[in-house]
Amino acid sequence: MSNDHLPEFPAGFWFGAATASYQIEGAVHADGRGPSIWDTYSHTPGLVLNGDTGDVACDHYHRYPEDVELLRRLGVDAYRFSIAWPRVMPTGSGDVNQRGLDFYDRLVDALLEAGITPVPTLYHWDLPQALEDAGGWRSRSTAEHFAAYTRAVVARLGDRIRHWITLNEPFCSAFLGYAVGRHAPGAREGTPALAAAHHLLLAHGLAVQELRAADAGEVGITLNPDRILPASDSAADRAAADRAETLHNRVWFDPLFAGRYPANEADVWGELADGSYRRDGDLEIIGQPLDFLGINYYRPLKVADGPLTEADPARRTAVDIRAHQQRFDGVRHTAMDWPVVPESFTDLLLDLTERYPNLPPIYITENGSAEHDVVSPGGRVHDTDRIAYLNDHLHALAAAIRAGVDVRGYFVWSLLDNFEWAFGYERRFGIVRVDYDTLERLPKDSYFWYQRLIEHHRARHRG
Ligand code: FCB
């Protein structure tokens, strides 16, 4: 294969791969780990496809040396993983379980030994169940416990880790978890879901303070902003898109990067957005300067105007905002049924940098696709659709950089096939296949493609 059409990036650009604790680790009872909301959710019949759970997952907890070796051979600069709060604090607060931290200690040492920069996320959705029982993200105290947990992690690993991500996609934690109910803890609520969004932002801000106090290096947050397109040019559809902008994007970007709460909250949520969960001074805590912004991008959203799903305000959820998702016609859809629209990636990045002039440098902390992979009789996975997806999105990213967006690196989602939340093991995002019967790892063609891209990048900048 020639290198003619490989996307090109500036010198010093990082290539990485990403995973998350509950999706790959398994070993849910090992070394004193406590239960998380995802253990509870996945063990509740009917909530996860095929009844799958993260009990074993990829058994990365025991097989991490093999996975680090896969990363080393891939040639990545950095590896994004997440730390499981319930391993570090089994009930979410109080005593620190050093045996849980021992695992990350070993992992970090193995990565450094392999020449790979560790980039942990402190929260990728596995809230300790005991904290959920006390209100979860609806409660302000969860944000305070998150700060204490952050302090414990940085005290143990801060000597070797110099890049930290506080939260992964708080949109999903707050709104899929507490409003749609398709993620743990599976609630469908209004004001409490908006409170959850606020407390997640507060938790981020309090964690930033802890990391700064510990002189921990570079600190950022990972968001999943959506490129939102109105279904038509009508005023009603454009207004629906504007409401969706607030739900998906402004809720996070305005307090983090513009020192304000979204101006149109009352239009979007009416009496649900009563602000009862906010206190004076919160905006200052939330909006502290960051060293980088992580962006996860997969697909754009198209929305149209329509009626509220629930007429009774007492039963209305925070995602019920008269903006109804529409299908994209004439484009390929992945195994997630997500439309493949790479140019939306470029547009999103350009648009965000224009709307928020104070954005810090960006890392793409996730991008990838689930495909219907097949193992060939020769024992290979010829995942050409995934390669096309990655290639097209990396070209779209390179175009954004050429147009002036400051992007410093890219992490493919995911190193391994893994537990894809409510879709269980059926949806495969890995560039390495995992056989869930034997737990054997098999690099797919996309793994070798990515390896070649990284080699090409290095050769270009050496020469
Ligand atoms: C993101 C999540 C990640 C993974 C991908 C497909 O929303 O952060 O854990 O599930 O989607």
Long-range CB contacts (within 8 A, 24+) of 51-54: 51/424, 52/419, 52/424, 52/425, 52/426, 53/419, 54/22, 54/23, 54/25, 54/26, 54/28, 54/419
Backbone angles phi, psi at 246, to 5 degrees: -70, -50
By most ligand atoms within 8 Å of CB, the mutation choice from 24, 366, 389 for ligand 1 is 366
% the chain with pLDDT above 90: 98
Question: Measured from the CA of 368, which atom of ligand 1 is nearest?
Answer: 6
Pick from 77, 80, 107, 73: nearest CA to 443: 73
Report CA(207)–ligand 1 centroid distance (Å): 22
Q: Which of 200, 220, 201 is nearest to 211 (CA)?
A: 220
Residue 169 appears among annotated catalytic residues: yes
Mean pLDDT over each residue of the chain, to the nearest integer: 98
Q: Is 419 in the pocket of ligand 1 (CB under 6 A)?
A: no
Nearest CA to ligand 1 atom 10: 420
Query: Over the stretch 76-135, which tens digit does the pLDDT of each residue have?
Result: 999 999 999 999 999 999 999 999 999 999 999 999 999 999 999 999 999 999 999 999
Is the pLDDT reported for residue 463 higher than 80?
A: no
Q: pLDDT tens, 230-262?
A: 999 999 999 999 999 999 999 999 999 999 999
Shortest-distance Cα residue to atom 7 of ligand 1:
169
State pTM to two decimals. Answer: 0.98
CA separation (Å) from 249 to 60, 227, 286, 375? 33, 9, 15, 39
Q: Which pLDDT score is estimated for 14?
A: 98
Indicate the helix (H) or strand (E) that contains 195. Answer: helix 191-213
Six token digits for residue 340: 């493949």
Q: How far is the CA of 312 from the centre of ligand 1 (A)?
A: 32
pLDDT above 90 (res 16)? yes
pLDDT of amino acid 1? 47
Contacts of 397 (CB under 8 A, 6+ apart): 7, 345, 346, 349, 364, 367, 407, 410
Number of H helices, E strands in the chain: 16, 13
Q: How confident is the model at residue 313 (pLDDT cuts 50, 70, 90)?
A: confident
pLDDT at residue 3, as a whole number: 61
Question: Mind listing the pLDDT tens digit for each residue in 261-300?
Answer: 999 999 999 999 999 999 999 999 999 999 999 999 999 9
Is residue 345 within 6 Å of ligand 1 at its C-beta? no
Instruction: Decide: 169 in ligand 1 pocket, CB within 6 A.
Output: yes
